[in-house]
Amino acid sequence: MSLLPPSLSLRAVLLFDAATCAAMGGALTLARWPLGGWTGLPPGLLLGAGLALLAIAALIAAIAARTPVRPGGAWLVILGNAAWVAGSLALLAPKILAPNALGVAFVAVQAIAVAAIALAEFALLRRAGQQPQPA
């Protein structure tokens, strides 16, 4: 049983993913100094992540714009999201960064949100009958 409504489409979730990447990318880029002060995360890291997210948003939007959405493009987004989650959590490992409690929460919450989006994309891709192809 799926928790996703039957009317929800892969394209809609990809567009939501692109929009959230663009919003977070803009926020990290423009507010890197205050965010860095509040979270204990380096402003340079926030800038780099923000710029990467802006580029990623454009890529995801282009993938979502295809009719139909190509399975390979959807898999690229899903795997990219999984890599983002893994990288985010790796930043919290001891001796990598030293964020404060708000910084830890900030990184963890965005990683959980990205994981939820990736899981929704995966479920919708499966619903469409697009199983992974063996290499």
What pLDDT digit, counting tens, does each position of 40-93 carry? 999 999 999 999 999 999 999 999 999 899 999 999 999 999 999 999 999 988
Predicted confidence at residue 125, as pLDDT, reads: 92
Q: How far is Cα 50 from Cα 67, in angstroms, rounded to an integer? A: 28
Instruction: Kindly state whether residue 24 falls inside one of the protein's structural domains.
Output: yes
Q: How far is Cα 113 from Cα 117, in angstroms, rounded to an integer? A: 6
Token output for 65: 């714009």
**Tokens 């697009």 — which residue?**
130
Instruction: Kindly state whether residue 135 falls inside one of the protein's structural domains.
Output: no
**Angle (CA) 126 127 132, round 5°:** 15
Instruction: Kindly state whether residue 66 falls inside one of the protein's structural domains.
Output: yes
pTM of this structure: 0.89
Predicted confidence at residue 2, as pLDDT, reads: 63
What pLDDT digit, counting tens, does each position of 122-135 carry? 999 998 875 554 44
Predicted confidence at residue 135, as pLDDT, reads: 42
Predicted confidence at residue 84, as pLDDT, reads: 97
More confident residue, 2 or 80: 80
Number of domains in the chain: 1
Average pLDDT for the chain: 92
Instruction: Kindly state whether residue 29 falls inside one of the protein's structural domains.
Output: yes
Instruction: Kindly state whether residue 133 falls inside one of the protein's structural domains.
Output: no
Question: Taking residues 84-110, what's their average pLDDT?
Answer: 92
For residue 33, pLDDT over 80 is answered with yes
Q: How far is Cα 31 from Cα 44, in angstroms, rounded to an integer? A: 11
Instruction: Kindly state whether residue 62 falls inside one of the protein's structural domains.
Output: yes
**Phi (first) and psi of residue 4, to 5 degrees:** -85, 135
Instruction: Kindly state whether residue 3 falls inside one of the protein's structural domains.
Output: no
Q: Which domain holds residue 34?
A: 10-127
For residue 94, pLDDT over 70 is answered with yes
For residue 6, pLDDT over 90 is answered with no
Instruction: Kindly state whether residue 2 falls inside one of the protein's structural domains.
Output: no
Helices (H), 1-135: 10-30, 32-39, 43-65, 71-91, 101-127
